[in-house]
Amino acid sequence: MGSTSVASRSAVSGLAGGGFRFEIQALRAIAVLAVLVFHIWPDALPGGYVGVDVFFVISGYLITGILFRDLQALGRISIGEFYVRRIRRLLPAAALVLVVVAFLLPLLPQTRWEDTTGGIVASALYVQNWWLAAQAVDYLAAESAPSPVMHFWSLSVEEQYYIFWPLVLLLVGALPSKWLKRPGQVFAGLTLLVVLASLAYSVWLTYENPGVAYFSTLTRAWELGIGGLLAVTVRWQSLSGMARVGLGWLGLAMIGAALVTFDKTTPFPGYTALLPVLGTAMVLAARDSAHPLASYRLLRLRPLQYLGDISYSLYLWHWPVIIFYTAVAGRAPGLVDGVALLAVSCALAHQSKHLVEDTFRHGAPGGGRVVRASAIAAGCIAVTVAAAWAAPKAWLSDDAIASPDVLANSAPVSKNPGAAVLIDGKVVKQAPLLPAPDAAVADVPAPYRSRCMSRGNNTSVKVCSYGNKDSDTRVVLVGDTYAAQWQPALDEVGRLNEWDVRVVVKTGCALGDVTPLDAKGNVFDACVRWRSDMAAKLIEWKPDLVLIAQAPTNKILEASSGKDRAEKLGKGIASFVSTMAEADIPTALIRSTPTIDRECLAAATIRTCARPRSRAVRKLDPILFASGDRDSSMLLDLTDAICTSQECGAVVGNVVVYRGAAHLTATYSRTLSPSFGRALESTGALQQVKIPSADSLPAPSDLPQRATAAKRDNPDLYADGCHADQVSAEPTFCTYGTPGSDVRIVLVGDSHAAQWLPPLQEIAARKDWELLSFTKSACAFSDTVVQVGGREYKSCTEWNENLMSKLAELGPSVVVTSQSRGHRAFGHEESEASQAALAKGLQSRWAELRRMGNSVVVIADTPWMKKDVPDCLSSPRADIQACNTPLEVAVRSPDSILAAARRSPDVKLVTLNELICSDGICPAMKDDMILWRDRHHLTASYARGFVPRIEPVVSAAASSRN
């Protein structure tokens, strides 16, 4: 990869006098092909990842050889010239790939943008391997989709080697001259120390923490050191012709054996890396040979030489090509498209090699080479970091909401038509409410979640942008929270018509020439400043229509009565309308929404709870006073789409209407989009208004942002730092609820147990119980020894032993446990035997807990979705239905918990899957809420909704214990 490639046959790339080395080019070709095949078809070449190790040996061999020759020829190491060559050779091509990746972000799900841009910066700074090492022990990132720049980890290892190895070898040049009579021995001795120390550490860390060991520079240094040791110790004259023949073929055989016999379960790097590393060293030691049986004749083949020549660029380009293709196609490549990906990668590599690598590698002669190279390095890093920062902003509005076309496939609303029941005559049977009543208060429009509303003493005119920013038609919605609630309806109309839609609101701020007051009764100076700046902004924009909505209860100076306040607020709005008219900007007023009794929102009878229309509809509405004698077509009155002729209900068309006494839920507002569109059409201010269909409930316009939030919607124990990673065996815990309570609940298990912390927190808070959490990543709370990555999960076994001692000490009232059904019992490769062993281990563990006097509540495992749900929902042209998973697929794996529970009658079992899935489908979204934070973990928000189902079981268990 990052070794010195030879464009011309006279370039220096080896030791022993330099000269072109055919076997090195061929090894590069073998290495990059192995990596490519492994990445495209992992099952075809399961050990293809060792191609990276081949590269490491070559780099160590060449770089140490170059430095050693400098010492021999000059008596010193020319670090400046060495760094110049590395910078020119490596950085420009790498920067090009990183910048291209940055600006292809829209091809990825929006949930992956932040991680990708972070990876770009880490790659530009050549610390990608440490970035990934940190994620390797981060249980929240463990199952994240691969980044298109994660392959830069190996380049980071090499670059760190290039930076620090010459500095280490400078110590040799600083030794007394009598020590330098045999510099090869000194070089070799120092390199050997590095090799032995690094190899020992690699073997140990691969056992203790394989994730970190894979990416660590310290565990890979010995591989580069083997190449370096070879460069300063081998004397080619001492090897006979036949020895070199045998060495070459044996080396290739060792590399080939690693490629086909290693897989993801192989402990790596550790001692197993010796096979490909020593094999590569043997091929290098064999060098060229004229013998007819020598492997050298094979290695000289032109295809291998060509691929070796473009190997660095090919390595750079192939992985982004694969990742972006997979993201767009929605599947892994097969045979035909895999071959196409190989061809595309080679084409990009060919152009990159000749247009970028070769152009920058041959610097201008003369002085200042170090300065110019430093400028190239600084420029490459700066451009890459700037691209990583700027690229997402090009696709996001100022309020961080993306607006991709998510309407390609809308969710059917035959069960939840909302306003279509009143306006379009839709008839529906009773169905689950959307959103769930207890979640309605959080069903706010996008400006709330994106924080693009001006609040309090903030005077800045924040702008929420939606739709097509390049449209010739611009509609602006202004006012306060009464205006913001119409954003979902306006957004749907705007997107269908490809308008540029903007929302500019400030909470509690009355428009016009009235004197506003803040919550404390003081003059609201921030509102006054905001109104002035907002009006100036509108005059600058010259929109085709300004929509105005405002609360009828805003506080103003010298309002002696409700009627007086309404009239003055109305006059203020009228004065604002006049200001817009003077600027030749059309305006329309939106009548205030009817109100509901707050008791309706919390009532068990919410479906039938209503308020008489005569009381719900405001007679003292400032909007009506402001409209005065104006053209009635410029008043948008949506009351008939909210209320019947007799009453205003809390639920319409199986959709909860209100999230407060007078504010609509975002969901209901979206169902108003057909009515809102027709009202806009009636104003005559906008031409050819397309009306959204009442037959479908569009996906939320801020779906990518919701998906990103769902990705982070984790139980508190992660942020609180008491979830053990795969290394720790210490049963650390967090305490929630009421410490010292007579009732102590303990939650134990893996991450699938951790997802039940949110409802247990709610229960503990209600009942004044103490709640403790003991969870460990990928670790079953069981007597059965489990495996991770094909190896015995020893820290899990130790954690279990330590935890049982801790539970004996704590004496909990109830132990609540759950676990993933994806565990594999160590020593049992067959699924059926593994599940039987896991079930037996659970029975044994639960029986032990019962003997200790603990009540045991077991929660069955949740379904496993086919796709990462947030990634799926935030992908370009998201199809919500395509993110669902058939029930038979989601729960088809055997569940050791259910098997063990059938044989453990004294354990209380809770199964929730029938509530998560219905009609044969496990949905990605329900009640306008995203259920999943990945493929098989519920969001904390959704999990809280299971309190009514879990609480009775845990309460009964606690009572029986007491």
698-743 residue pLDDT tens: 556 568 888 888 998 999 999 999 999 888 899 999 999 999 999 9
User: With 90 as the cut, is the pLDDT of residue 577 above it?
Assistant: yes
Same domain, 223 and 282: yes
Same domain, 666 and 761: no
Position 307 scores a pLDDT of: 95
Position 562 scores a pLDDT of: 86
Position 252 scores a pLDDT of: 96
Same domain, 379 and 460: no
Position 10 scores a pLDDT of: 33
User: Band of the pLDDT at 28, cuts 50, 70, 90?
Assistant: very high
Position 461 scores a pLDDT of: 95
User: With 90 as the cut, is the pLDDT of residue 542 above it?
Assistant: yes
> Do the beta carbons of residue 231 and residue 61 sit within 8 Å?
yes
Q: What's 760's domain CATH number?
A: 3.40.50
Per mean pLDDT, which range of 59-68, 122-131, 397-406, 779-788 is the poorest? 397-406
Residue 701: DSSP 8-state: T
Same domain, 421 and 464: yes
Tokens coding 290:
């004229």
Residue among 256, 307, 339, 325 at smallest CA distance from 41: 339
Gap between the Cα atoms of 872 and 860, Å rounded: 25
Q: For residue 541, with 0-12 CB atoms within 10 Å meaning exposed, 13-18 middle and 19 or more buried, which class applies?
A: middle
In our burial notation (b when 16+ CB lie closer than 10 A, e otherwise), range 652-668 reads bbbbbbbbbebbbbbbb
Position 370 scores a pLDDT of: 78
Q: Is 348 domain-assigned?
A: no
| Residue of higher predicted confidence among 772 and 688 | 772
Q: What's 543's domain CATH number?
A: 3.40.50.1110
Position 701 scores a pLDDT of: 58
Position 180 scores a pLDDT of: 61
User: Band of the pLDDT at 128, cuts 50, 70, 90?
Assistant: very high
User: With 50 as the cut, is the pLDDT of residue 11 above it?
Assistant: no
User: With 70 as the cut, is the pLDDT of residue 672 above it?
Assistant: yes
Same domain, 428 and 388: no
Position 13 scores a pLDDT of: 36
Strand spans (E) along 642-799: 647-649, 651-652, 655-656, 696-697, 723-724, 734-737, 744-749, 770-776, 787-788, 791-792
**Percent of the chain residues topping a pLDDT of 90:** 64
Same domain, 668 and 813: no
Bond into 704 cis (ω within 30): no
Residue among 48, 37, 29 at smallest CA distance from 307: 29
Most confident of 3-12, 68-77, 121-130, 785-794: 121-130
> Do the beta carbons of residue 62 and residue 89 sit within 8 Å?
no
Bridge partners of 857, per DSSP, are 816, 908
> Do the beta carbons of residue 377 and residue 80 sit within 8 Å?
no
Gap between the Cα atoms of 82 and 86, Å rounded: 6
What would the pLDDT profile of 147-167 be if each residue is shown by its tens digit?
Answer: 999 999 999 999 999 999 888
Q: β-pairing, 921-922 with 885-886?
A: antiparallel
Residue among 875, 886, 868 at smallest CA distance from 922: 886
Q: Is 474 domain-assigned?
A: yes
> Do the beta carbons of residue 467 and residue 503 sit within 8 Å?
no
| Residue 870 half-sphere exposure toward CB, CA atoms < 13 A | 23
Neighbours of 375 (CB within 10 A): 12
| Residue of higher predicted confidence among 71 and 419 | 419
| Residue of higher predicted confidence among 449 and 92 | 92
Domain extent, residue 833, equals 714-861+893-908+942-961
| Angle of helix 794-810 versus helix 831-851 axis, rounded to 10 | 20
416: alpha, beta or left, given left = phi > 0 and alpha = psi -120 to 50? Answer: beta
Same domain, 386 and 439: no
Residue type at 843? Q
> Which residues neighbour 424 within 8 Å (Cβ) at sequence distance 6 or greater?
417, 674, 694
Q: Is 885 domain-assigned?
A: no
Q: Is 144 domain-assigned?
A: yes
Q: Choose the final residue of a domain: 687, 702, 736.
A: 687
Neighbours of 418 (CB within 10 A): 30
User: With 90 as the cut, is the pLDDT of residue 204 above it?
Assistant: yes
User: Band of the pLDDT at 440, cuts 50, 70, 90?
Assistant: confident
In our burial notation (b when 16+ CB lie closer than 10 A, e otherwise), range 475-487 reads bbbbbbbbbbbbb
Residue type at 440? A
User: Band of the pLDDT at 195, cuts 50, 70, 90?
Assistant: very high
Q: Is 661 domain-assigned?
A: yes
Chain-centroid distance, C-alpha 196? 38
Same domain, 377 and 253: yes
> Do the beta carbons of residue 797 and residue 782 sit within 8 Å?
no
Residue among 395, 352, 413 at smallest CA distance from 668: 413
SS3 content of the chain, % helix, strand, coil (to 5): 55, 10, 35
Residue 355: DSSP 8-state: I
592: alpha, beta or left, given left = phi > 0 and alpha = psi -120 to 50? Answer: beta
User: With 70 as the cut, is the pLDDT of residue 566 above it?
Assistant: yes
Average confidence (pLDDT) over 21-29: 93
Position 334 scores a pLDDT of: 92
Residue whose tokens read 């070794």: 3
> Which residues neighbour 773 within 8 Å (Cβ) at sequence distance 6 or greater?
717, 722, 723, 733, 734, 736, 746, 747, 748, 754, 757
Residue among 157, 168, 163 at smallest CA distance from 192: 168
Position 407 scores a pLDDT of: 27
Position 632 scores a pLDDT of: 59
Q: Which helix (H) or strand (E) holds 179?
A: none
> Which residues neighbour 300 within 8 Å (Cβ) at sequence distance 6 or greater?
22, 26
Q: Is 822 helix (H, G, I), strand (E, B) or coil?
A: coil
Residue 63: DSSP 8-state: H
Gap between the Cα atoms of 656 and 436, Å rounded: 8
Residue type at 177? S
Neighbours of 919 (CB within 10 A): 6
Mean pLDDT of the chain: 87
Q: For residue 799, with 0-12 CB atoms within 10 Å meaning exposed, 13-18 middle and 19 or more buried, which class applies?
A: buried
Same domain, 291 and 217: yes
Same domain, 118 and 267: yes
Q: Is 750 domain-assigned?
A: yes
What would the pLDDT profile of 478-512 be if each residue is shown by its tens digit?
Answer: 999 999 999 999 998 998 898 999 999 999 999 99
Per mean pLDDT, which range of 148-152, 232-236, 251-255, 531-535 is the poorest? 232-236
Q: Is 880 helix (H, G, I), strand (E, B) or coil?
A: helix
Report how many domains make up the chain. 3
Position 290 scores a pLDDT of: 78
Position 957 scores a pLDDT of: 93
Position 372 scores a pLDDT of: 84
Same domain, 745 and 599: no
> Do the beta carbons of residue 97 and residue 320 sit within 8 Å?
yes
Q: Is 730 domain-assigned?
A: yes
User: With 90 as the cut, is the pLDDT of residue 876 above it?
Assistant: no
User: Band of the pLDDT at 205, cuts 50, 70, 90?
Assistant: very high
| Residue of higher predicted confidence among 301 and 170 | 301
Q: Is 472 domain-assigned?
A: yes
Residue among 777, 774, 710 at smallest CA distance from 136: 777
User: With 50 as the cut, is the pLDDT of residue 79 above it?
Assistant: yes
Average confidence (pLDDT) over 318-326: 95
Position 6 scores a pLDDT of: 36
> Which residues neighbour 117 within 8 Å (Cβ) at sequence distance 6 or greater?
102, 105, 388, 389, 391, 392
Same domain, 477 and 389: no
| Residue of higher predicted confidence among 167 and 813 | 813
> Do the beta carbons of residue 720 and residue 772 sit within 8 Å?
no
> Which residues neighbour 457 within 8 Å (Cβ) at sequence distance 6 or greater?
525, 526
Sequence length of the chain is 962
User: With 70 as the cut, is the pLDDT of residue 772 above it?
Assistant: yes
Residue whose tokens read 């490596």: 90
Strand spans (E) along 69-220: none
